[in-house]
Chains A and B, each alone.
Chain A
């Protein structure tokens, strides 16, 4: 084939330019460390990189959410722990107060300490987080949830709202509990409460009240009537007779899945109402206990009342403690979930970053050898051009 002089020069220049282009692209790749400099270098890879970066950013954001949730839950756990400690002390004092050697005076001293503890319990329930938000106020987190009402009882002004945070696109976790947990503690044994009638004159008091057959339990009220010091009957709310029999102190009275054990000497006509337990606030329970201890016990009946009330108070305290424990367990489970999710996220992030690196990062070994090759090719092209341009027949015509 004929080759024109222009063609020789043009191909020479073109191969030099191509060599320079390739070399400069490789150089850019090496200086940025990226395989993909613009999306058109690898549209698929570029989009993949874009989505990987978005997912990494999302995982990091979820990590920040988890940190926030952890802080809040840990604060909640600390408060619950402190409140549990305070209630332990209340229980200790109650057991102490139940001791028969106590006098009205010594009980008043105990009651005074209980009053102090009650104040600090309310303060703890009104704990705030680092942002000044009340921990146990539901959604009304900027106003104090537990305040005294006109009668001196603690009133809950928050709501049942519970804040959730996202740990992943499809997993949300509660980062707190509303103040409800303190205001809806079941009373007594959690199912029913035995209350002596205010007009009782005997010295009998409730030693035990427990559920023996949960299947037989309904939300029904009953009354135990002592027909004499040695016989009783049980009637339901419509006054129908449920059971009756003779009685001695310490004998179990079983009816409708319930068991009630009375001690002491009841007078004929004494009665005990057995009602569904319902719920009460933890603070009210302590208030009741204080009132009981401040009430002087001077005769059989008032001592019986004291025994009854202290017994109920101990049951209530156990309910409160178990409620606090329940919530603490829940909080602990949430913290575990967050930690587990954190580990998953760390692994996921590592995987995403590895993939991202594979997609967009430069393989330096390959790039360096490519650079060397391109450099050699460019040098060869320049050399060839110089040699070719030197060749001319005119040089030989003289």
Chain B
């Protein structure tokens, strides 16, 4: 063995531990770096020299600097990041609406209560102008409250759309950066100097940032680059090439953002396929929370306006005129697609509020017929021939207004988006129709037990409504002109003439007369006001299952449950993300105590190697000394 070998061993140790100290220092320096994976020096005994006595060790060599990371843990972290961001963003938006809807002052419920209380007051005191004025005021308050809640929903829509656009830009920038890093990693890897650890950390971090915005899957390539896919396999990054997403105004509603890929002049929408992350949450909030909330609010609004107006029309005001519309409301929305060849638009009318759903509808031309589809459950409702009419879900559509049409032409129908634009039409307190236009009386000379059980208006448009009619009981029938109604054995006979319905209870004697007269001058009559007040409890919505208040409560419950779910899921995903982060940190994170121990260990090894050199040196010294003598 020569002294030179020992020198070499000493030097190899010096170099190796210098490198090891360097790595420990790098780890310590990056203890606060986000996404940093700790690095380890790989040491290996150098190949031994074989001599007469056998294999003799020749020192240490650094074979590489390893990045301590686990790909599967990283996958888990990426997925948890998407899920957590999704629920956090969703809960953030949902709780805004949630707070508003059930607010004791700002919610709809108190305004609805006040309105019907004011109606009761008019019923209690029909000749009081103050009570009538109060009803108009309460009606305006109700309309304003509808508008205010709709405005809040619209505001959230605008914010969501704005953030969708911003998030798409961020996703594009991140994808671009991943593509750039791919390029640098491929080049670094190609130089065979070992994996570029810090670049890999950076790329992982970018992928996590992408995942925070949208759910992604990654696929590692043999050259070290990764491909990134979003949604149903839409490539965001392939190798060194990033494909930007495009956020563009919807062809139905320019304030709505659609996301897709642009291929030259063609726009391929992929909005429906994107999920997860902030972007997924924003799309879900917009389409799955805010739209249905607006529709549900609109359905309550349609219920209030149409029911109140219909009952009001059957009444008579203080001037003796029939009731006019109390509330004004916009027509159901029909939105034309910008790409349509067809001109004009179908007419959509509400025929029966109890049949209304919370869904929007789409009308699409297949070259022969227009196909009507309900959007919330995707059900195909009908194929309607051009120019025909069709009744569905409390609505009626008339296609006569559409001219021409090419395959793929379409219209979006939003029947319940009305809550923001209601008005109170009646401004004159005298114009509130608290009375009925007709009154009925049994003649004083009647000998039988027949009594008037009540009179109601069923068709206020009948021109003869207020004409005087005498119904005489003759030979077991109630007779008036051409009308003859037999006595109902149940003891309650219903007689419909001229748009009114008279109910006679009991059994009249032959020749008894019941007269129906114009009620003008009947200013103290509150029968119609009672009907109006009764609407508060009428189960008129959702196919006759819910009153107006209950229907609104359903909306509050729906948003509350969605918010609650998002909050709970957000918490759960937060924990899972914490666990995934902890798991990653357990593997890849820097522990300062560990590095401190390593520092001491490597320092001592370095010092020892230096000592080896000193020993080798002193060996030479001894040799020279001996030779000099």
**A and B, one complex?**
yes
Residues on A facing B (Cβ under 8 Å): 1-7, 10-11, 14, 38-44, 46-47, 49-51, 53-54, 57-58, 61-62, 64-65, 68-69, 131, 133-134, 137-143, 159-161, 163-166, 169, 172, 184, 219, 278-279, 392-394, 397
Contact with A along B104-121 (1 / 0, CB 8 A): 100101001100110011
Contact of B441 with A57 in the complex, beta carbons under 8 Å? no
Besides A39-B99, A61-B117, A159-B522, 10 more A-B contacts (Cβ < 8 Å) are A4-B38, A5-B593, A14-B578, A39-B556, A43-B563, A51-B549, A64-B120, A163-B524, A394-B592, A397-B599
Contact of A141 with B596 in the complex, beta carbons under 8 Å? no
A393 to B116, CA, bound (A): 73
**Which residues of chain B have C-beta atoms less than 8 A from A43's C-beta?**
556-557, 560-561, 563-564
Using known A-B contacts A6-B589, A393-B596, determine if residue A143 contacts B521 with beta carbons closer than 8 Å: yes
Contact of A172 with B530 in the complex, beta carbons under 8 Å? yes
Contact of A1 with B586 in the complex, beta carbons under 8 Å? yes
A141 to B522, CA, bound (A): 7
Chain B nearest CB, measured from A32 CB (Å): 11
Contact of A166 with B534 in the complex, beta carbons under 8 Å? yes
Using known A-B contacts A5-B592, A133-B524, determine if residue A161 contacts B113 with beta carbons closer than 8 Å: no
Using known A-B contacts A5-B592, A65-B124, determine if residue A38 contacts B537 with beta carbons closer than 8 Å: no
Q: Which of B520-537 contact A (CB under 8 A)?
A: 521-527, 530, 533-534, 536-537
Contact of A39 with B589 in the complex, beta carbons under 8 Å? no
A41 to B564, CA, bound (A): 7
Contact of B127 with A141 in the complex, beta carbons under 8 Å? yes
Contact sample, A vs B, 6 pairs, CB 8 Å cutoff: A1-B586, A5-B589, A6-B585, A57-B113, A140-B524, A166-B533
Q: Which of B396-454 contact A (CB under 8 A)?
A: 435, 439, 441-442, 444-445, 447, 452
Q: Does B101 sit within 8 A of A, measured CB to CB?
A: yes
A131 to B116, CA, bound (A): 22
Q: Which of B564-608 contact A (CB under 8 A)?
A: 564, 567, 578, 581-582, 585-594, 596-597, 599-600
Please, which residue of chain A has its CB at the minimum distance from the CB of B34?
Answer: A6
A64 to B527, CA, bound (A): 18
User: Which of A40, A46, A278, A393 has the most chain B CB within a 10 Å cutoff?
Assistant: A40
A10 to B582, CA, bound (A): 9
Select A38's contact among B98, B527, B533, B578, beta carbons within 8 Å: B98
Q: Does B342 sit within 8 A of A, measured CB to CB?
A: no
Range class of the B interface residue count: 35 or more
**Which residues of chain A have C-beta atoms less than 8 A from B594's C-beta?**
2
Please, which residue of chain A has its CB at the minimum distance from the CB of B119?
Answer: A61
Please, which residue of chain A has its CB at the minimum distance from the CB of B118?
Answer: A61
Chain A nearest CB, measured from B504 CB (Å): 14
User: Which of B124, B536, B567, B582 has the most chain A CB within a 10 Å cutoff?
Assistant: B124
A4 to B32, CA, bound (A): 11
Contact of A397 with B600 in the complex, beta carbons under 8 Å? yes
A10 to B537, CA, bound (A): 55
Contact of B586 with A2 in the complex, beta carbons under 8 Å? yes
Contact of B534 with A161 in the complex, beta carbons under 8 Å? no
Contact of A4 with B120 in the complex, beta carbons under 8 Å? no
**Which residues of chain B have C-beta atoms less than 8 A from A394's C-beta?**
592, 596
Chain B nearest CB, measured from A243 CB (Å): 25
**Which residues of chain B have C-beta atoms less than 8 A from A279's C-beta?**
444
Chain B nearest CB, measured from A353 CB (Å): 15
**Which residues of chain A have C-beta atoms less than 8 A from B124's C-beta?**
64-65, 68-69, 165
Select A40's contact among B98, B578, B592, beta carbons within 8 Å: B98
Contact of A47 with B127 in the complex, beta carbons under 8 Å? no
Contact of B591 with A3 in the complex, beta carbons under 8 Å? yes
Q: Does B393 sit within 8 A of A, measured CB to CB?
A: no
Closest 8 CB pairs of A and B: A4-B589, A141-B524, A139-B522, A43-B560, A39-B560, A40-B563, A139-B525, A393-B596
Contact of A138 with B586 in the complex, beta carbons under 8 Å? no
Please, which residue of chain B has its CB at the minimum distance from the CB of A45?
Answer: B560
**Which residues of chain A have C-beta atoms less than 8 A from B104's C-beta?**
53
Contact of A39 with B98 in the complex, beta carbons under 8 Å? yes
**Which residues of chain B have C-beta atoms less than 8 A from A161's C-beta?**
439, 519, 522, 524-525
A62 to B117, CA, bound (A): 9
Contact of A137 with B524 in the complex, beta carbons under 8 Å? yes
Please, which residue of chain A has its CB at the minimum distance from the CB of B555?
Answer: A47
Contact of A38 with B102 in the complex, beta carbons under 8 Å? yes
Q: Does B353 sit within 8 A of A, measured CB to CB?
A: no
Q: Does B369 sit within 8 A of A, measured CB to CB?
A: no
**Which residues of chain A have C-beta atoms less than 8 A from B94's C-beta?**
40
Q: Does B31 sit within 8 A of A, measured CB to CB?
A: yes
Q: Which of B123-166 contact A (CB under 8 A)?
A: 123-128
Select B557's contact among A44, A142, A393, beta carbons within 8 Å: A44
Q: Does B550 sit within 8 A of A, measured CB to CB?
A: yes
Contact of B560 with A46 in the complex, beta carbons under 8 Å? yes
A58 to B586, CA, bound (A): 61
**Which residues of chain A have C-beta atoms less than 8 A from B587's C-beta?**
2
Select A54's contact among B101, B113, B452, beta carbons within 8 Å: B113
A278 to B524, CA, bound (A): 29
A2 to B526, CA, bound (A): 81
Contact of A47 with B557 in the complex, beta carbons under 8 Å? yes
**Which residues of chain B have C-beta atoms less than 8 A from A38's C-beta?**
95, 98-99, 102, 560, 563
Contact of A5 with B590 in the complex, beta carbons under 8 Å? yes
